[in-house]
Amino acid sequence: MGFFAGIAALCTPIALVVFWIFATRGRRNHPKWEVLRRFRYAHRGLHDPAQGVPENSMAAFRRARAFQCGIELDVHLTKDGRLAVIHDKSLLRTAGADVIVEQLTVPQLKSYRLEGTQEKIPLLEEVLEVFQDGPPLLVELKADYFDVKKLVETAVRTLDQYRVNYCIESFHPGVLLWLARHRPDICRGQLSENFWRCRGELKAWQAFAMTNLLSNFLTRPDFISFRQEHRWVPSVWLCRKLHRLKMFGWTVRSPREMEQLEREGFSVIFEGFQPPLHAPVWAQKTA
Measure CA of the first residue to CA of the last residue in the chain; give whole Å.
Answer: 51
pLDDT < 50: residue spans in the chain? none
Query: Residue 65: what pLDDT?
Result: 97
Q: Work out the angle at residue 240's Cα, subtended by the Cα atoms of residues 74 and 232, and round it to the nearest 5 degrees.
A: 80
Q: Which of 30, 47, 76, 87 is catalytic?
A: 87
Query: Residue 99: what pLDDT?
Result: 97
Q: What is the pLDDT of residues 109-164, one digit of tens each?
A: 999 999 999 999 999 999 999 999 999 999 999 997 668 999 999 999 999 999 99
Q: Which of 43, 47, 76, 172 is catalytic?
A: 43
Do the Cβ atoms of 141 and 172 come closer than 8 Å?
Answer: yes
Q: What is the pLDDT of residues 249-278, one digit of tens each?
A: 999 999 999 999 999 999 999 999 999 877
Do the Cβ atoms of 73 and 139 come closer than 8 Å?
Answer: yes
Measured distance CA(174)–CA(210) in Å, rounded:
12
- Assess whether 43 carries a catalytic annotation: yes
Count of other CB atoms within 10 angstroms of residue 15 = 11
Domain ranges of the chain: 31-286
Contacts of 35 (CB under 8 A, 6+ apart): 136, 165
Containing 213, the helix (H) or strand (E) segment is none
Measured distance CA(135)–CA(166) in Å, rounded:
9
Query: Residue 227: what pLDDT?
Result: 98
Contacts of 68 (CB under 8 A, 6+ apart): 134, 135, 277
- Assess whether 87 carries a catalytic annotation: yes
- The count of residues in the chain is 287
* CATH code given to domain 31-286: 3.20.20.190
Whether the model pTM is above 0.95: no
1 CB burial (10 A radius; 0-12, 13-18, 19+): exposed
Helix (H, G, I), strand (E, B) or coil at 62: helix
